A and B are shown apart, each in its own frame.
Chain A
Protein backbone atom coordinates (compact mmCIF):
# COMPACT_ATOMS: atom_id res chain seq x y z
CA UNK A 1 0.00 0.00 0.00
CA UNK A 2 0.89 3.67 0.02
CA UNK A 3 3.20 4.92 2.75
CA UNK A 4 5.45 7.84 3.67
CA UNK A 5 8.64 7.68 5.72
CA UNK A 6 10.20 10.86 7.02
CA UNK A 7 13.18 11.41 9.24
CA UNK A 8 12.59 11.16 12.93
CA UNK A 9 12.96 14.25 15.01
CA UNK A 10 13.25 16.34 16.89
CA UNK A 11 15.60 18.53 14.90
CA UNK A 12 17.23 21.49 16.61
CA UNK A 13 19.08 24.13 14.61
CA UNK A 14 20.51 27.56 15.12
CA UNK A 15 19.08 30.48 13.21
CA UNK A 16 20.42 30.77 9.64
CA UNK A 17 21.40 27.09 9.52
CA UNK A 18 20.59 24.89 6.53
CA UNK A 19 17.63 22.55 6.92
CA UNK A 20 16.96 19.20 5.30
CA UNK A 21 14.10 16.92 6.32
CA UNK A 22 14.14 13.67 4.41
CA UNK A 23 10.99 12.10 3.05
CA UNK A 24 10.59 8.96 0.97
CA UNK A 25 7.43 7.32 -0.22
CA UNK A 26 5.96 4.12 -1.53
CA UNK A 27 2.98 4.40 -3.82
CA UNK A 28 1.21 2.79 -6.71
CA UNK A 29 0.61 5.00 -9.67
CA UNK A 30 1.63 8.65 -9.70
CA UNK A 31 0.80 10.38 -6.45
CA UNK A 32 0.98 14.05 -5.66
CA UNK A 33 3.37 14.98 -2.87
CA UNK A 34 2.95 17.58 -0.16
CA UNK A 35 4.63 19.16 2.81
CA UNK A 36 2.33 20.41 5.55
CA UNK A 37 3.38 22.46 8.55
CA UNK A 38 1.77 22.79 11.96
CA UNK A 39 2.82 25.81 13.98
CA UNK A 40 2.23 25.69 17.74
CA UNK A 41 -1.46 25.96 18.56
CA UNK A 42 -2.54 26.01 14.93
CA UNK A 43 -3.91 23.62 12.34
CA UNK A 44 -2.13 21.98 9.45
CA UNK A 45 -1.17 24.35 6.66
CA UNK A 46 -0.09 23.37 3.19
CA UNK A 47 3.50 24.49 2.77
CA UNK A 48 4.21 23.29 -0.76
CA UNK A 49 3.28 20.63 -3.23
CA UNK A 50 4.40 18.85 -6.40
CA UNK A 51 2.14 16.91 -8.70
CA UNK A 52 4.53 15.11 -11.05
CA UNK A 53 8.09 13.89 -11.34
CA UNK A 54 10.80 16.59 -11.36
CA UNK A 55 8.36 19.26 -10.21
CA UNK A 56 9.77 21.57 -7.57
CA UNK A 57 7.45 23.00 -4.97
CA UNK A 58 8.50 26.14 -3.15
CA UNK A 59 7.10 28.53 -0.58
CA UNK A 60 8.47 30.82 2.16
CA UNK A 61 12.03 29.86 1.24
CA UNK A 62 11.33 26.14 1.51
CA UNK A 63 11.81 23.84 -1.48
CA UNK A 64 11.21 20.19 -2.31
CA UNK A 65 11.69 18.31 -5.58
CA UNK A 66 9.62 15.30 -6.62
CA UNK A 67 12.21 12.61 -7.41
CA UNK A 68 10.57 9.58 -8.93
CA UNK A 69 13.83 7.66 -9.38
CA UNK A 70 14.59 7.81 -5.66
CA UNK A 71 10.93 8.06 -4.53
CA UNK A 72 11.84 11.08 -2.44
CA UNK A 73 10.55 14.55 -1.65
CA UNK A 74 13.07 16.06 0.74
CA UNK A 75 12.32 19.45 2.29
CA UNK A 76 15.10 22.05 2.30
CA UNK A 77 15.62 25.62 3.39
CA UNK A 78 18.84 27.50 3.08
CA UNK A 79 18.55 29.67 6.18
CA UNK A 80 16.01 28.88 8.88
CA UNK A 81 14.46 31.41 11.21
CA UNK A 82 13.10 31.09 14.73
CA UNK A 83 9.61 31.48 13.24
CA UNK A 84 10.11 28.24 11.28
CA UNK A 85 9.87 26.24 14.49
CA UNK A 86 6.99 23.84 13.90
CA UNK A 87 6.12 20.25 13.07
CA UNK A 88 6.55 19.32 9.40
CA UNK A 89 4.61 16.51 7.75
CA UNK A 90 5.33 14.90 4.42
CA UNK A 91 2.27 13.47 2.68
CA UNK A 92 1.18 11.87 -0.54
CA UNK A 93 -2.18 12.17 -2.20
CA UNK A 94 -3.87 9.34 -4.01
CA UNK A 95 -5.93 10.21 -7.02
CA UNK A 96 -9.36 8.93 -7.72
CA UNK A 97 -11.98 7.93 -5.24
CA UNK A 98 -11.60 9.70 -1.94
CA UNK A 99 -8.38 11.59 -2.74
CA UNK A 100 -7.22 10.97 0.80
CA UNK A 101 -3.79 11.90 2.12
CA UNK A 102 -1.22 9.52 3.57
CA UNK A 103 1.09 11.24 6.06
CA UNK A 104 4.48 10.63 7.55
CA UNK A 105 4.96 10.75 11.31
CA UNK A 106 6.04 14.38 11.38
CA UNK A 107 9.34 16.03 12.25
CA UNK A 108 9.50 18.62 14.99
CA UNK A 109 11.86 21.47 14.19
CA UNK A 110 13.12 23.90 16.80
CA UNK A 111 15.19 26.87 15.69
CA UNK A 112 17.14 28.70 18.37
CA UNK A 113 18.24 32.33 18.08
Chain B
Protein backbone atom coordinates (compact mmCIF):
# COMPACT_ATOMS: atom_id res chain seq x y z
CA UNK B 1 0.00 0.00 0.00
CA UNK B 2 1.09 3.56 -0.59
CA UNK B 3 2.40 5.33 2.47
CA UNK B 4 1.54 8.70 3.94
CA UNK B 5 2.45 11.40 1.44
CA UNK B 6 3.29 14.95 2.34
CA UNK B 7 4.07 17.89 0.10
CA UNK B 8 5.86 19.99 -0.43
CA UNK B 9 8.91 18.36 1.07
CA UNK B 10 10.50 21.76 1.58
CA UNK B 11 9.11 25.27 1.67
CA UNK B 12 10.90 28.55 2.19
CA UNK B 13 8.67 31.58 2.68
CA UNK B 14 9.01 35.08 4.01
CA UNK B 15 7.60 36.19 7.31
CA UNK B 16 4.02 37.31 6.84
CA UNK B 17 3.30 35.04 3.89
CA UNK B 18 0.91 32.15 3.82
CA UNK B 19 1.86 28.51 3.38
CA UNK B 20 -0.33 25.45 2.97
CA UNK B 21 0.97 21.98 3.72
CA UNK B 22 -0.79 18.90 2.46
CA UNK B 23 -1.01 15.37 3.74
CA UNK B 24 -2.45 12.36 1.97
CA UNK B 25 -2.99 9.55 4.46
CA UNK B 26 -3.04 5.86 3.70
CA UNK B 27 -6.31 5.05 1.98
CA UNK B 28 -8.95 3.95 4.46
CA UNK B 29 -7.23 5.38 7.51
CA UNK B 30 -9.78 7.35 9.50
CA UNK B 31 -7.27 8.82 11.93
CA UNK B 32 -4.96 11.58 10.76
CA UNK B 33 -2.48 13.42 12.96
CA UNK B 34 -0.29 16.47 12.56
CA UNK B 35 2.92 16.91 14.53
CA UNK B 36 5.82 19.32 14.24
CA UNK B 37 9.41 19.49 15.34
CA UNK B 38 10.93 22.87 15.93
CA UNK B 39 14.73 22.83 15.61
CA UNK B 40 16.37 20.94 18.45
CA UNK B 41 13.17 20.36 20.35
CA UNK B 42 10.66 17.58 20.78
CA UNK B 43 8.23 16.46 18.14
CA UNK B 44 4.95 17.89 19.38
CA UNK B 45 1.37 16.95 18.70
CA UNK B 46 -0.72 19.52 16.89
CA UNK B 47 -4.06 17.88 16.21
CA UNK B 48 -5.98 14.74 15.42
CA UNK B 49 -8.75 14.16 12.89
CA UNK B 50 -11.15 11.26 12.89
CA UNK B 51 -12.47 11.28 9.36
CA UNK B 52 -13.35 14.93 8.77
CA UNK B 53 -13.88 15.84 12.44
CA UNK B 54 -11.30 17.36 14.74
CA UNK B 55 -10.97 14.94 17.66
CA UNK B 56 -8.30 16.90 19.47
CA UNK B 57 -6.71 20.21 18.48
CA UNK B 58 -5.14 20.99 21.83
CA UNK B 59 -1.66 21.23 20.34
CA UNK B 60 -2.37 23.95 17.80
CA UNK B 61 -0.13 26.84 18.86
CA UNK B 62 -2.39 29.75 17.92
CA UNK B 63 -5.07 30.90 15.53
CA UNK B 64 -2.58 31.45 12.72
CA UNK B 65 -2.78 27.71 12.15
CA UNK B 66 -5.79 26.21 10.42
CA UNK B 67 -6.19 22.52 9.64
CA UNK B 68 -8.86 21.01 7.47
CA UNK B 69 -9.77 17.58 6.27
CA UNK B 70 -12.61 17.93 3.84
CA UNK B 71 -14.38 14.67 3.02
CA UNK B 72 -12.22 12.75 5.43
CA UNK B 73 -9.45 12.14 2.91
CA UNK B 74 -6.44 14.43 2.56
CA UNK B 75 -5.70 17.18 5.04
CA UNK B 76 -4.21 20.64 4.75
CA UNK B 77 -2.46 22.73 7.36
CA UNK B 78 -2.37 26.43 6.60
CA UNK B 79 -0.16 28.92 8.39
CA UNK B 80 -1.26 32.50 7.90
CA UNK B 81 0.62 34.74 8.43
CA UNK B 82 3.82 32.78 8.98
CA UNK B 83 6.23 33.84 11.71
CA UNK B 84 9.90 32.98 12.17
CA UNK B 85 9.14 30.62 15.06
CA UNK B 86 6.95 28.50 12.79
CA UNK B 87 10.06 27.10 11.11
CA UNK B 88 10.47 23.40 11.62
CA UNK B 89 9.47 20.02 10.23
CA UNK B 90 5.78 19.22 10.05
CA UNK B 91 4.88 15.54 10.15
CA UNK B 92 1.62 13.92 9.26
CA UNK B 93 0.61 10.43 10.36
CA UNK B 94 -2.37 8.17 9.84
CA UNK B 95 -3.75 5.06 11.43
CA UNK B 96 -6.69 2.75 10.93
CA UNK B 97 -7.90 2.11 14.43
CA UNK B 98 -5.36 2.33 17.20
CA UNK B 99 -2.21 4.10 18.11
CA UNK B 100 -0.20 1.01 17.24
CA UNK B 101 -0.84 1.49 13.58
CA UNK B 102 0.65 4.96 13.20
CA UNK B 103 2.41 5.53 9.87
CA UNK B 104 4.28 8.78 9.45
CA UNK B 105 5.01 10.73 6.30
CA UNK B 106 8.45 12.08 5.43
CA UNK B 107 7.56 15.53 6.70
CA UNK B 108 7.56 19.04 5.27
CA UNK B 109 10.50 21.22 6.23
CA UNK B 110 9.22 24.78 6.57
CA UNK B 111 11.65 27.66 6.76
CA UNK B 112 10.34 31.14 7.46
CA UNK B 113 12.85 33.90 6.70
Contact = CB atoms under 8 A, between A and B. Distances in A.
Interface in A66-113: 89, 91, 93, 95, 97-106
Interface residues of B, number: 27
Interface string B18-35: 000000000000010101
Contacts of B99: 32, 93, 95, 99, 101
A44 B100 contact: no
A106 B107 CA distance: 16
Given A42-B106, A44-B91, A45-B104, A99 B40 contact: no
Interface of B: 3-4, 31, 33, 35, 37, 40-45, 48, 55-56, 58-59, 91, 93, 98-100, 102, 104-107
Interface of A: 4, 32, 36, 41-46, 49, 51, 89, 91, 93, 95, 97-106
